[in-house]
Amino acid sequence: QVQLVESGGGVVQPGGSLRLSCAASGFTFSSSAMHWVRQAPGKGPQWVAFIRFDGGSEYYTDSVRGRFTISRDNTQNMLYLEMNALRGEDTALYYCAKDISSSWFEYMDVWGKGTTVIVSS
Amino acid sequence: DFVMTQSPLSLPVTPGEPASISCRSSQSLLHGNGKHYLDWYLQKPGQPPQVLIYLGSNRASGVPDRFTGSGSGTDFTLKISRVEAEDVGVYYCKQSLHVPLTFGGGTKVEIK
């Protein structure tokens, strides 16, 4: 079945780094644009980053641009989020989500269950 | 950024009765292709969001026909014709016309 499974979350000190992974299965990953969306405790979802099906375009929300990098490996059906210079406000449940489109933003039709990132000293 | 404002914040509903949620964008969500880039998601407790409506008024696969999306420009509405117990959760609208993609603050639907 169509599935996204995130991993790599954990507790990290402010200024530290983490790499999140998302394993995709059950659909043609190499034809799908992908997103990272996060949700802080008790808050609504916040879109974080987007990557086109071929990795040719990336977009970020302002608060993470320059600190986070989205990437993908279509040979391994994997999506990644490299997070550097982490701050307390990055604490959240991080979801990967598939877009129905291959190259632009339409809507997110498949979501993983998320991986938790806690930034704390 | 496009600011998405939802109302009400909380919506107690009686099973079998209709419900309506409003979403207003700070700027028009009409693309040059004639489509409105506005989606509705439902997040049930302990689960990730799930899409209900895309491009303003299109029901996603598997979504019951009691859910209807409508609206244009900056004002959109999600209607549930007859609320069922399984519809409880937080409803979010989201715009995908402009980066950054932005979600509304959410409307919590609960059974009276």
pLDDT tens-digit readout, A3-54: 999 999 999 999 999 999 999 999 999 999 999 999 999 999 999 999 999 9
DSSP A95-117: EEEEESSSSS---EEEE---EEE
Between CA A85 and CA A94 the distance in angstroms is: 17
Within 8 A of B97 by CB-CB distance, chain A residues are 105
CB B22 within 8 A of CB B7: yes
| Burial classification of residue B28, based on how many CB atoms lie within 10 Å of its CB (0-12 exposed, 13-18 middle, 19 or more buried) | middle
Mean pLDDT within A76-84: 98
Beta strands in chain A (DSSP E): 3-7, 10-12, 18-25, 34-39, 45-51, 58-60, 68-73, 78-83, 92-99, 108-111, 115-119
pLDDT in tens, A96-116: 999 999 988 899 999 999 999
Closest chain A C-alpha to B99 CA, distance in angstroms: 7
Q: Which member of A62, A106, A109 has the closest CB to residue B100?
A: A62
- Cβ neighbours of B49 in A, within 8 Å: 45, 108, 111
Over range B29-56, report the average pLDDT: 97
pLDDT in tens, B6-40: 999 999 999 999 999 999 999 999 999 999 999 99
pLDDT at A39: 98
Per-residue pLDDT, B7: 96
Which tens digit of pLDDT belongs to each residue from B65-86?
A: 999 999 999 999 999 999 999 9
Nearest to A61 among B94, B100, B106 (CB): B100
User: Which residue does chain A place closest to B108, by CA atoms?
Assistant: A44
